[in-house]
Amino acid sequence: KNEVEQSPQNLTAQEGEFITINCSYSVGISALHWLQQHPGGGIVSLFMLSSGKKKHGRLIATINIQEKHSSLHITASHPRDSAVYICAVRMKTSGSRLTFGEGTQLTVNP
Amino acid sequence: NAGVTQTPKFRVLKTGQSMTLLCAQDMNHEYMYWYRQDPGMGLRLIHYSVGEGTTAKGEVPDGYNVSRLKKQNFLLGLESAAPSQTSVYFCASSYPNYQGQYFGAGTRLSVL
């Protein structure tokens, strides 16, 4: 079993829909990251969370430390949101190193 | 300010050939990382460095060597390439207080 599990693996939505991507982890963490990988391959960091909730534009990330679970929400989805979304955790025992989930492929159709 | 730059972007090797991937960052980051990304798997750490002159093994180090002679550069070497090393390789860097890792654009490597 992977230490970081994401669901769903693939998600197709219609433009305007509200989207949720989930991440569960099995170890104690210092922080959790959400990253976006564009179709061209580039990876950018969206959020870093250690508690609560963060919002940036139409993206919202939440984390529940007790339940070892995080969600990434996209409101009013748009085709340009189509990408792979990756959850990664920094474990308490691993310093600066990250452990990554497999990613969720999101496709938003017009 | 280019961020993290990887060269080359694409490469095709024959089994047994050697090559070096270069990662350069201009953000004065202490920490640098090499990952590989394969279909159906998350990014996996190959080697990392917490400062100039230091390197350490990650999750999948076999078949790779690294060097960090200058703070801004982190080199990944394949001494004798194998088809199992066909992958997309990403370099990243970060500050020690770790507010996030900055990624290069990736190198797509095929070993025939």
Which whole number is the average pLDDT over B52-78?
96
pLDDT, residue B1, reads 60
Higher-confidence residue of A92 and B74: namely B74
Q: What is the dihedral of CA A36, A41, A43, A44, to 10 degrees?
A: -70
**Cβ contact B40–A102 (<8 Å):** yes
Give A64-71 contacts, CB < 8 A, sequence gap 24+.
A65/A29, A68/A24, A68/A25, A68/A26, A68/A29, A69/A22, A69/A23, A69/A24, A69/A25, A70/A22, A70/A23, A70/A24, A70/A25, A70/A32, A70/A34, A71/A20, A71/A21, A71/A22, A71/A23
Mutate to test the interface with A, among B27, B41, B50, B101 (most CBs of A within 10 A): B101
Distance CA A3, CA B37 (A): 17
Which whole number is the average pLDDT over B61-66?
96
Q: Over chain B, what is the mean pLDDT?
A: 94
Higher-confidence residue of A92 and B110: namely B110
DSSP code, position B106: -
Contacts of B39 (CB under 8 A, 6+ apart): none
Q: Which two tokens stand for residue A53?
A: 């909730």
**Cβ contact B50–A100 (<8 Å):** no
**Cβ contact A96–B43 (<8 Å):** no
> What is the residue whose two structure tokens read 């996030």?
B100
- Residue in A43, A48, A90 closest to B103 by CB: A43
Which whole number is the average pLDDT over B83-100?
89
Q: Note the maximum CA span of chain B.
A: 41
Which amino acid, one-letter code, is at B10? Answer: F
Predicted confidence (pLDDT) per residue in A45-74, tens digit: 999 999 999 999 999 999 999 999 999 999
Residue B98: is its pLDDT beyond 80?
no
Nearest to A84 by CA among A101, A103, A65, A97: A103
> What is the residue whose two structure tokens read 């939505």?
A13
Beta bridge partners of A55: A60
pLDDT, residue B56, reads 95
- Residue in B45, B50, B88 closest to A41 by CB: B88
Convert B20-36 to b/e letters by CB count within 10 Å (16 or more is b). ebebbbeeebbbbbbbb
Which whole number is the average pLDDT over B13-27?
96
A26-30, A53-57, B23-27: the lowest-pLDDT one: A26-30
Residue B37: is its pLDDT beyond 70?
yes
Is the backbone of residue B96 left (phi > 0), alpha (psi -120 to 50) or beta? Answer: alpha
Which whole number is the average pLDDT over B9-30?
96
Residues in A touching B101 (Cβ below 8 Å): 33, 45, 98
Q: Over chain A, what is the mean pLDDT?
A: 93
Banded pLDDT at A92 (limits 50, 70, 90): confident
Q: DSSP string spanning B13-38?
A: E-TT--EEEEEEESS--SEEEEEEE-
Higher-confidence residue of A54 and A97: namely A54
**Cβ contact B88–A97 (<8 Å):** no
Banded pLDDT at A1 (limits 50, 70, 90): low
Instruction: Measure in Å the smallest separation between the Cα of A28 and chain B Cα atoms.
Output: 17
Residues in A touching B58 (Cβ below 8 Å): 97
